[in-house]
């Protein structure tokens, strides 16, 4: 597996990042099996793992910590904070108070002295970005965190954070983690050029668009199941945008077959073939799923294949706006009403 530079940090990471969201009650409750999957990923050349404190209520971090016992130095380890960890309104968000507590909790669960990449899971409309950056800067200076990053920030929010870092002499976000797939291409218009312009790495999540590009849901299959981790609007087959996605998936499946690829390989290769993408986060629940992802790391799509994908989903277009992770706060009713 050929490694890539993580922005301008000098760190080299694999083009596939092992996402640990499905380890624990959200996906695979078998800890031993989850650890085997992690070890198989490491043995295959993946040196990048991404998790978050909120995944399975902390169980994901626990499992990753157990799996890395004796192998910690092999891995560039990333985790995230921000999402609610309890009913307590102070156990969430980007405040200094919570960051200082959240990092200690993650370090304990991960069974490590330091986190390579500590990311803000979402931007906060209620917290000054300078407060968040100030707390994260202190963690870097204390040696508990090596680098910091953002997740699901818009282009303007990325620029604001970079400006605040330079203006206040604070650590800057060196990565952004946005959603990106053939069906969700909105970041191509603004986020990716912004990230590239600031020399950041891009760790994209959901390259299979929540399972839409896995081949699991086709026009002749039953209605898609939903879970607490997947908003119903993204999988409601009565919605025109989702029916459009079914049509596109059929065309993509044919394109993949014509080129000797699986739909999964085509989807992941599309993401990591973009020059602005450092790594695609893949989140297997089973060993079989992991094995189906691995070949994509070595696939380069021809220009004619990329052109056909562009015909099916135009650059910069997200087929179903419900698949975006941006505008959550800005587009709420209360934010728009005068």
Active-site residue set: 55
Instruction: Kindly compute the dihedral angle of the four CA atoms of residues 13, 15, 17, 18, in this order, to the nearest 10 degrees.
Output: -120
CA 15 – CA 281 distance, rounded (Å):
9
Cα–Cα separations (whole angstroms), residue 291 to 13, 52, 151, 181, 301: 19, 23, 27, 19, 20
CB atoms within 10 A of CB 39: 13
Which among 104, 80, 78 has a CA at the least distance from the CA of 11? 78
Kindly give the pairing relationship between strand 4-5 and strand 12-13.
antiparallel
Alpha helices by DSSP H, listed for 80-154, are 96-110, 129-142
CA 258 – CA 270 distance, rounded (Å):
16
φ/ψ (deg, to 5) at 276 = -90, -5
Q: Is 98 exposed, middle or buried (0-12, 13-18, 19+ CB in 10 A)?
A: buried
Is residue 92 within 8 A of residue 120, CB to CB? The reply is: no
């Amino acid at each position: 597996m050929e490694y890539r530079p993580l922005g301008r940090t000098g760190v080299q990471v694999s083009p596939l990042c092992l996402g640990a969201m499905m380890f624990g009650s959200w996906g695979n409750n078998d800890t031993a099996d989850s650890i085997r999957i992690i070890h198989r990923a490491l043995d295959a050349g993946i040196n990048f793992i991404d998790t978050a404190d909120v995944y399975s209520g902390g169980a994901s971090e626990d499992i990753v910590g157990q799996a890395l016992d004796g192998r910690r130095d092999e891995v560039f380890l990333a985790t995230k904070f921000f999402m609610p960890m309890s009913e307590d309104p102070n156990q969430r968000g980007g405040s200094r108070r919570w960051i200082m507590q959240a990092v200690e909790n993650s370090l304990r669960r991960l069974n490590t002295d330091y986190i390579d990449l500590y990311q803000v899971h979402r931007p906060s409309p209620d917290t000054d970005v300078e407060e968040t950056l100030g707390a994260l800067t202190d963690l870097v200076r204390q040696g508990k965190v090596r680098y910091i990053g953002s997740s699901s920030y818009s282009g303007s929010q990325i620029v604001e954070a970079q400006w605040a870092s330079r203006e206040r002499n604070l650590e800057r976000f060196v990565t952004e983690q946005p959603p990106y797939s053939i069906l969700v291409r909105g970041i191509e218009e603004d986020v990716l050029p912004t990230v590239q312009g600031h020399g950041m790495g891009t760790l994209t999540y959901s390259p299979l668009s929540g399972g839409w590009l896995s081949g699991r849901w086709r026009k002749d299959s039953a209605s898609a199941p939903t879970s607490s981790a997947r908003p119903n609007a993204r999988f409601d087959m009565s919605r025109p945008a989702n029916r459009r996605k079914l049509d596109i998936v059929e065309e993509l499946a044919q394109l993949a077959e014509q080129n000797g690829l699986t739909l999964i390989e085509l989807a992941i290769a599309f993401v990591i073939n973009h020059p602005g993408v450092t790594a695609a986060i893949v989140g297997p629940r089973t060993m079989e799923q992991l094995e189906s992802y691995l070949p994509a790391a070595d696939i380069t799509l021809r220009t004619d294949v990329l052109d056909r994908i562009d015909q099916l989903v135009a650059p910069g277009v997200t087929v179903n706006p419900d698949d975006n992770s941006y505008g959550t706060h800005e587009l709420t009713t209360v934010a728009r009403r005068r």
